Amino acid sequence: MLHTFAVSNYRSLRDLKLKLEPLTLVTGANGSGKSNLYRALRLLQQAADGRLAEAVAQEGGIPSLQWAGPADTRSQQKRGLRPQGTRSSTALRISFGFAADDVAYQIALGLPAGGNPVAQSRFRLDPEIKSECVWQAPPQRKANTWLERDNSVALLRDADGEWQRLGFALSPSRSILSELAEPQRYPEVFALRERLRGWRFYDGFRTDADSPLRQPRTSVQTGALAHDGRDVAAALQTIVEIGDEEALHSAIDDAFPGSRLAILGDEARLEIGLDTHGLLRTLRAAELSDGTLRYLCLLAALLSPRPPELLVLNEPEQSLHPDLLRPLARQIVRASRQSQVWVISHAPKLVAAIEDVANIVAVELTRQSGETRIAGQGLLDEPVWP
């Protein structure tokens, strides 16, 4: 289980360390930094999957990701001064990292050394990985470290515990995790990569008339719902066949009393439908409301017969009727018994329902002088990092 997530110099996240639980609920006002926290965590997975440069480019390149506020706000506030827009004298590095029960990982990004805005390359805003490190658990020491990278130089501890220098040239914008292909030689680092690739993120589902959710799709057994929900019919049918079918039908009845899931189609293509009390025919996907369709996608994610180590839901309340929020809270809490779950929401009714069902307290984000902080968290409350 992950117990710490740390990020610095990324958008509004100047220096944030978040303690994680089996079920972590994050809330806050619009603009407080919830989406930045979600994207920061997802960048870790994209780094392990070899998609870091593409993901950074989609966000506008490194200059758009870097903290744009004053270099030092907290010490000024402690002295009773009004925060001034002072800039750092050194180039900013964006860093992300996490610590689990048995391993920790950190990666730091920045602009290419000597880069300047008038350079001729069209790729001058690509990220350059400045450092990368894997170790067993905080606090980090040389004796418990498996991987150390400093720009293009990388040292890894092999299966015999001996330090080896990586024998090929590293791409400056790709994580070592995405480059390794020798699990028998570097087992701990390779295992970490596979763990990160197994994390699942869900950030809304398209429900317009042309959405793949409303179209019949290829019939393939699906143990994990795609991030955009395009294979929801196959994912739900997989739950029926090899998962907890009773829990699925119970969850649908809890949300839509008197209704029952219907998977339409044949061995080649599948489509979701809903049998509703009082109607003489099955409602097909094209007829379902946006909220109903999204809720069925959430059930496919939460009831997966192959639960992930980490499941992250960003604002799952989108388009849902308020009456669906408490049933959703029950399914989220149920899923947290098999996977570590992280929910980011600004819907007070959903936050209150999860707090009540799970008996937890949400982490509230606030924005002070442009910086995202955790409400009520002092320096002594921060988890150990690194």
Contact by Cβ (8 Å): 287, 11: no
User: Which pLDDT score, from 0 to 100, does residue 326 have?
Assistant: 98
Q: Report which of 111, 108, 100 is spatially closest to residue 148, judged by C-alpha positions.
A: 108
Domain limits, the chain = 205-307
Residue 91 has pLDDT above 80, yes or no: no
Using alpha carbons only, give the angle 360, 364, 366 rounded to the nearest 5 degrees. Answer: 175
Q: Locate tokens 């936050």: which residue?
A: 351
Q: Locate tokens 């089996």: which residue?
A: 22
Token couple for 9: 């110099």
pLDDT in tens, 138-157: 788 888 999 999 998 999 99
329: region left, alpha or beta (phi > 0 left; psi from -120 to 50 alpha) = alpha
Residue type, 193: R
Contact by Cβ (8 Å): 174, 109: no
Confidence of residue 86 (pLDDT cuts 50, 70, 90): very low
Exposed/middle/buried for residue 264 (C-beta within 10 Å: 0-12, 13-18, 19+):
middle
Residue type, 136: Q
pLDDT in tens, 61-73: 898 999 988 776 6
User: Which pLDDT score, from 0 to 100, does residue 126 have?
Assistant: 80
Q: Report which of 319, 288, 299, 290 is spatially closest to residue 235, judged by C-alpha positions.
A: 299
pLDDT in tens, 322-375: 999 999 999 999 999 999 999 999 999 999 999 999 999 999 999 998 999 999
Contacts of 214 (CB under 8 A, 6+ apart): 207, 285, 286, 288, 293
Report the mean per-residue pLDDT for the chain: 91
- What is d(CA 386, CA 382) in angstroms, rounded to the nearest whole number? 11
User: Which pLDDT score, from 0 to 100, does residue 138 have?
Assistant: 75
Residue 83 has pLDDT above 70, yes or no: no
Name the DSSP class of 317.
T
Length of the chain: 386
| Helix, coil or strand: residue 310 | strand
User: Which pLDDT score, from 0 to 100, does residue 72 have?
Assistant: 64
Residue 198 — φ and ψ, nearest 5°? -85, -10
Exposed/middle/buried for residue 255 (C-beta within 10 Å: 0-12, 13-18, 19+):
buried
Of all residues in the chain, what percent carry a pLDDT higher than 90?
78
User: Which pLDDT score, from 0 to 100, does residue 367 have?
Assistant: 95
The average pLDDT across 242-249 equals: 97
Residue type, 33: G
Residue 119 has pLDDT above 70, yes or no: no
The average pLDDT across 316-324 equals: 96
- What is d(CA 355, CA 329) in angstroms, rounded to the nearest whole number? 9
The average pLDDT across 31-46 equals: 95
- Other CB atoms within a 10 A radius of the CB of residue 299 amount to 25
The average pLDDT across 263-284 equals: 92
Q: Out of 76-85, 94-103, 217-226, which region has the weakest mean confidence (pLDDT)?
A: 76-85
pLDDT in tens, 188-220: 999 999 999 999 999 989 999 999 999 999 999
Residue 384 has pLDDT above 50, yes or no: yes
Four-CA torsion 225, 20, 102, 43, nearest 10 degrees: 50
Exposed/middle/buried for residue 124 (C-beta within 10 Å: 0-12, 13-18, 19+):
middle
Write out the E strands in the chain: 2-10, 13-19, 23-28, 94-100, 104-110, 128-135, 145-150, 153-157, 163-165, 200-202, 217-218, 260-265, 269-275, 283-284, 310-314, 340-344, 363-368, 371-374
Using alpha carbons only, how large is the chain's radius of gyration in Å?
23
